[in-house]
Amino acid sequence: MAFEVTENGGVTIIDVEGQLIVGNRQELKQKVLERLDSGERKFLIDFTNTGYIDSSGLGVLVSLSKKIREQGGELRLANLNEDLKTLFELTKLDTLFHISNSRDEALQTY
Amino acid sequence: MNGPDYVLELPNELDAIDRAVSFLLERGEEAGFERDRLRLNFRVGLTEALVNAILYGNERDPDKRVRVEAVFDNDKATIRVTDQGTGFDPSAVPDPTLPQNRGETGGRGVYLIRCLMDHVEYNASGNSVTMVLRKRNGPSNSTTSSDTSMKTADRTSLGHEIGRLAEQYRRTFPERAVQVWARDGSDWTIVYASNGGEDPEPGPSTARMTTDTGLELALDVGEQGAALDFFIGALEMILGYEEEARSAAREIAERYEEINLLYSISEVLGSVVSLPAAAQKILSEVAETLGGRRASLWIHDERSNRLVLAAAVGEGGTPDSIAVDDPRSVTARVFREQSPLNVERGATLPRGGDDVRPSEEAFVSVPISYTPPEGETRIIGVITLIGRVHHARFSAGDARLLAAVASQVGAALETQRLMEESVQRQRFQRELELAHDLQMKLLPSTDDFRGVIDIEARCAPADSVGGDFYHLVRLSETRCAVVIGDVSSHGFAAAMIMALTMSAIGIYARESEHPSEVLRRLHRSLISELESTEMYMTIWYGIVDAEQRTVTYANAGHPHAFMMRGDGTRERMDATNPPLGLLPLPEYGEGVLGWEPPGDLICLFTDGLSDALGHGKASGEGELLDRVAALADQPSDAILARVFADAQNGTDVPPDDRTALIVRGS
């Protein structure tokens, strides 16, 4: 439902539909960690269809980013809308993530 | 009842019962009554009657008395107990063994007397009860035998019984005295003679019979044909009496055990004991009463769907728990099928699969059911008895009694479990309240800063405890550190991080003049805690200087920190770094803003407050600031009260901790 997982050129892509909030963040976490466990290392979360991320949503992105990094992988984010971009800038989280303006841009530079 | 042998006038007090009963028991022993009948039937029946007379008949009135009259005949004792009360209707006393009456406190005495005495009669007004208890083996001059069976009945008791019957029917034979002789191989003995009978041996006109045990009996009623007919009729009657007496004795004994057991169970359950202790005690009583070698009591645990051993009696490798779907466990099967199982030794135990081994021991197992005051009956466990002492099987009566016990036990255990759960919930609730109070006490009072800087603050956790906090540290006469923070979670883990942060800030704020350095040290001391709990924290740390008219701040990812100018413009005090708990940084950034009181106002808050005002949308922040600006001419505490009240209406967002501070110049 809220999270659709696909694969493109060795990168696991997760589309977030709607919101990433306290109620569904565990689901995202579980989906990503399952794939990390099965050996995937490159991840991209696409926020094209995402309206809102609350503070616990930000928390799960941070925690996933750390876990992936510990395994020698990377988590990138793409297609944040203006509000979400502001949110990342306000919290200075933009300094911790590789944030791309489009999915292709993220995939090309991986 | 003519001419009682003994008359006792008792004071209306319970202490008198024991003396009276002991006295009459001794007289009964002298009169040749069987000890077991005295101890059980006589003692209990008489005691119950006296208790009723004193407590209910005389209504504990110390001025009243109880009269006891007793006659000990050859074959029976007759006791009459009379009180001075207004009497009662014995037929109106409910049967205490019926399920609907088991909870009643009264009514057992009257029932017990009926069970234990051979004959019970109340007078018309109901204040006097006459009880008759017969000797089991006839009159006292007989050679008493403890066995009540007809086959071993000795000649005197049988002969006497026949003679007694003949006497009763003497109207049929008015012309001659009744006389009965008996012999078992040797000489004739007179075993019964009405007044006038004196022949040492039966004459030729007597009717004779031989019982199947070889006992020869002779009866003389003056007419042979009539005597023979009577013989046959009398023997049939006696056999009937014997059988009746035997089954009555059995029933009384069974009832007595049952009543005793139920009494002691309600005693155990009535006293305040723990669930395991109650289960253990009840199980011991049940095993003892029914003669079970081993016994176990299992309670269903819904979470694991296993039957957990609550108590066990006797040796044997009983496991701690059994899976409900275990095909090899008979106890699990009884639970699943919700019906009792009674298997005798050597019979095939219905185990699962191909296992058809005969049972090594007798086995009875019943489900424990519980019916809540409102709702469906459900099975909450199983009681199992294994191995019947001296017998190959448990009787149907045993199984019924066990089932009755199980239903009592079920209600009591379930009630106790629910009570314990509720006690635990209450305890947990109290601890939460304590934790809440403790956390609120950690937050500093804003009163200490009056005169220099005007600070108002408010913090409302979503749960009892939360992850939001603020802190104030006075650095000098004119300088004060102001802090707002938000741990990315709530509940106990977040509250612990909050408490750690509060105490760490208290130390670092005085060690360093630079907000960036305070955050760096704070991060260093918190990072392992934050990482292990997967939490992070946004925090704004500012030093407000009333003399220099500046605010110097470091901001680790906290979005909601604003300088609201007197001219209506707003400046966000941007994050200088990401939140704490993500990456250890060698250095932290700092920002400085001019601050011109009284027009300039510093407004700090957490997203719980703005999200509630914006109904979950990003616009909440702007709405909150607009509200504060509109209320700027009012005192700070009034502004906060208003904003928090408005946020209270935002019920369409998940609850989150809400915190806000307003800082102004004095």
Residue that wins the pLDDT comparison between B214 and B443: B443
Using the Cβ of B491 and the Cβ atoms of chain A, whether some distance falls under 8 Å is answered with no
Chain B residues within an 8 Å CB radius of A81: none
Distance from CA of A30 to the nearest CA of B (A): 14
Residue type, B260: N
Residue spans of alpha helices (H) in B202-308: 224-270, 275-290
Nearest CA in chain A to B561: A90
What is the largest distance, in Å, between two alpha-carbon atoms of chain A? 35
Residue B224, pLDDT score: 61
Nearest beta carbon to residue A63 from set B534, B575, B583: B534
Nearest CA in chain A to B555: A91
Interface touch A54/B574, C-beta < 8 Å: no
pLDDT at position B17 over 70? yes
Using the Cβ of B486 and the Cβ atoms of chain A, whether some distance falls under 8 Å is answered with yes
Distances in Å between the Cα of B160 and the Cα atoms of B75, B143, B155, B165 are 10, 11, 8, 9
Nearest beta carbon to residue A90 from set B535, B559, B617: B559
Interface touch A91/B572, C-beta < 8 Å: no
- For residue B598, whether the previous peptide bond is cis, meaning omega lies within 30 degrees of 0, is yes
Residue that wins the pLDDT comparison between B470 and B535: B470
Residue B142, pLDDT score: 33
Q: How many CB atoms lie within 10 A of CB B109?
A: 20
Distance from CA of A55 to the nearest CA of B (A): 7
Contact A110/A98 with Cβ under 8 angstroms?
A: no
Interface touch A87/B534, C-beta < 8 Å: no
Interface touch B535/A59, C-beta < 8 Å: yes
Residue B273, pLDDT score: 59
Which of B286-290, B323-327, B407-411, B638-642 is predicted least confidently?
A: B407-411
Interface touch B607/A55, C-beta < 8 Å: yes
Chain B residues within an 8 Å CB radius of A54: 607, 611
pLDDT at position B5 over 80? yes
DSSP readout, B568-607? S-EEE---SBPPBTS---S----EEEE--TTT-EEEEE-H
Q: Would you place residue B591 in the very low, low, confident or very high pLDDT band (cuts 50, 70, 90)?
A: very high
Interface touch A95/B578, C-beta < 8 Å: yes
DSSP readout, B83-151? -SS----GGGS--TTSGGGTT-SSSHHHHHHHHHSSEEEE-TTSSEEEEEEE-TTS-TTS---S---GG
> pLDDT of B229-268, one tens digit each?
666 666 666 666 666 666 666 666 666 666 666 666 666 6
Interface touch A91/B607, C-beta < 8 Å: no
Interface touch A83/B654, C-beta < 8 Å: no
Residue A74, pLDDT score: 93
> pLDDT of A36-85, one tens digit each?
999 999 999 999 998 878 777 888 888 898 889 989 999 999 999 888 88
* Sign of the four-CA dihedral B502, B506, B511, B514: positive
Q: Would you place residue B531 in the very low, low, confident or very high pLDDT band (cuts 50, 70, 90)?
A: confident
Task: Say how far apart CA B152 and CA B86 lie, in whole Å.
Answer: 48
pLDDT, mean over chain B: 80
Interface touch B582/A66, C-beta < 8 Å: yes
pLDDT at position B59 over 60? yes
Q: ∠ CA B146-B286-B402 to the nearest 5 degrees?
A: 95
Using the Cβ of B557 and the Cβ atoms of chain A, whether some distance falls under 8 Å is answered with yes
Contact B537/B530 with Cβ under 8 angstroms?
A: yes
Strands annotated E in B400-487 = 453-460, 468-474, 479-487
Chain A residues within an 8 Å CB radius of B618: 52, 83, 86-87
Q: Would you place residue B176 in the very low, low, confident or very high pLDDT band (cuts 50, 70, 90)?
A: low
Mutate to test the interface with B, among A24, A50, A55, A80 (most CBs of B within 10 A): A55
pLDDT at position B270 over 80? no
Using the Cβ of B654 and the Cβ atoms of chain A, whether some distance falls under 8 Å is answered with yes
Number of cross-chain residue pairs from A and B with Cβ atoms under 8 Å apart: 56
Interface touch A92/B583, C-beta < 8 Å: no
Residue B275, pLDDT score: 66
Distance from CA of A10 to the nearest CA of B (A): 27
Using the Cβ of B583 and the Cβ atoms of chain A, whether some distance falls under 8 Å is answered with yes
Distance from CA of A63 to the nearest CA of B (A): 7
Distances in Å between the Cα of B32 and the Cα atoms of A106, B37, B41 are 109, 11, 15
Strands B179-183 and B216-220: antiparallel
Task: Say how far apart CA B641 and CA B288 lie, in whole Å.
Answer: 70
The tokens describing B254, both together, are: 């069974």
Distance from CA of A98 to the nearest CA of B (A): 14
Residue that wins the pLDDT comparison between B512 and B413: B512
Distances in Å between the Cα of B459 and the Cα atoms of A31, B468, B549 are 36, 7, 27
Interface touch B575/A58, C-beta < 8 Å: no
The tokens describing B369, both together, are: 């059911």
Residue B237, pLDDT score: 65
Using the Cβ of B534 and the Cβ atoms of chain A, whether some distance falls under 8 Å is answered with yes
